[in-house]
Structure 1
Amino acid sequence: MQFPFSLSRSVRTLRSGSLAFDAWALRWVPADGAAPGDLEEVTAREAVRWLTAEGGARRLPVGVIGPKVATPRQVAVAEELGHLLGEVGLTVLCGGKSGVMEGVCKGNLAAGGQPIGMLPDDDWTLANPYVAIPLATGIGVARNAVIARAAFAMIAVGGEFGTLTEMAYGRHFDKLVVGLESAPQVPGAVYCDTVDEAVDLVCVEFLRLPA
């Protein structure tokens, strides 16, 4: 795959060399015809923002995980993360409760997102007040594995044993797992110092989804 990406607004296509991105199938396919004359190079984040806003992309969720009892710093980082993900049009999937989950939902909703809360409970009203789409599973902590399976990538903000299990599930399912704020150490996870770096990694992953 060649980077950076090139965008033609006139013919509404994202290109990478001789390939074009199918926004509904979320895969790269051979491009039809010659390259448009108005191609402009864009970053992965700019490409994802265009795909979700104008390109008709399917909304696969990003899993955001972290402690229910979180520090003020972790909640603030989660809120910033949710806002940036919302700005590029990425859907947040989390456990729907308090702490990091509430922070990321608050930021995502404020940025125009529709955060999904996959609750362990059988009562949707137990979701935090910023969950736009509450899913009352009634399956308890088993929902951790469902989040890891459903998300195309996961970002952990801090956390201990519960977050560790979710990160491990993510790696078991061969998902990109990103750690922020001293998230638990899991082999194969990528650790970032800033929210911006984490969002950029997730955007690249979105554009590298397999055919």
Structure 2
Amino acid sequence: MSKLYWSDEERCLVNEGRRFVPSRLAWTTDEGCPPAGREVTPLQALAQLAEQQSLRRVPIGIIGPREATPAQCELAADLGGALARHGLQLLCGGKSGVMEAACRGHASEGGLPIGLLPDEEWQAANPYVAIPIATGIGPARNAIIARACVALVAIGGGVGTLSEMAFGLQFGRLVLAMADAPQVDGVPRLAGVEAVLERIAMRLFGQL
């Protein structure tokens, strides 16, 4: 993994003569690229870009069961809040349980959670969804969530969550597991919110 540097003078992320373009989530080489500044971790780089509010808000999905445990809900709320603090957009299924907790955490930190609902009317969303999208297609909306997100984080879950994880892998997305999410080959299981954010940051910066 190549090192990342933050230029305080230019307020940009630099890597081996390349500048990161937040609006495109891509690296570019140009003559105006500043010299390397101070070395930063992927998570520190993400925090710097979040301060500038310049990141393209490609969604991060939090997926999990409607009938969630208190521990799962607490973890989902913590992760949702952390996404908002780091300038990341939350997309979920918009219903209860893990989805509602994630939206609550995201909204509490100033985020605007998107809920992609299986229902025909937007009123079926949980009260913390800022942008409800009624699809009317039932569980098939799981494939849309997986396709739309750059990364998916599963917290607990059963067959429905497993389908979203499988779609995510099929579409080449970063899929991560927390708590007692289904065990799936190729999906790392992480213990804490910071570890999840670090992996997401690495993905956004092309290091995964």
TM-score (norm 2): 0.94
Alignment of 1:27-176 (within 5 A): 27-33=26-32, 35-36=34-35, 39-54=37-52, 56-176=54-174
Contact 1:52–1:58 (Cα < 8 Å) also in 2: no
Deviation at 1:36, TM superposition (A): 4.1
Report what 1:16 is aligned to: 15
* Cα separation, 2, equivalents of 1:142 and 1:32: 47
Partner AA of 1:99 in structure 2: G
Q: Which amino acid aligns with 2:2?
A: Q
> For residue 35 of structure 1, what is the amino acid of its counterpart?
P
Q: How far apart are the structure 1 equivalents of 2:47 and 2:107?
A: 16
Task: State the one-letter code of the partner of 1:57.
Answer: L
- Please, which runs of 5 or more residues in structure 1 have no aligned partner? none
Q: How many residues are treated as equivalent by the alignment?
A: 208
2 CA distance for matches of 1:208 and 1:89? 18
Residues 194-205 of structure 1 aligned to structure 2 (within 5 Å): 194-205=192-203
Report if the CA contact (8 A) 2:112-2:129 is conserved.
yes
Q: Write the letter of the residue equivalent to 1:147.
A: I
User: Could you give the per-residue CA deviations for residues 166-188 of structure 1, whole angstroms, max 9, x where no partner exists?
Assistant: 00000010111000011101121
Q: Which residue of 2 aligns with 1:7?
A: 6
Distance 1:112 1:209 in 2: 28
Distance in 2 (CA, whole Å) between partners of 1:49 and 1:131 is: 24
* AA at the equivalent of 2:18: L
Give % identity. Answer: 45
- Work out the CA distance in 2 between the residues paired with 1:10 and 1:125: 47
* Secondary structure of the structure 2 residue equivalent to 1:191: coil
Whether the 8 Å CA contact 2:17–2:35 is kept in 1: the answer is no
So what's the TM-score if we normalise by structure 1? 0.93
Q: 1:34, CA displacement in angstroms?
A: 6.1
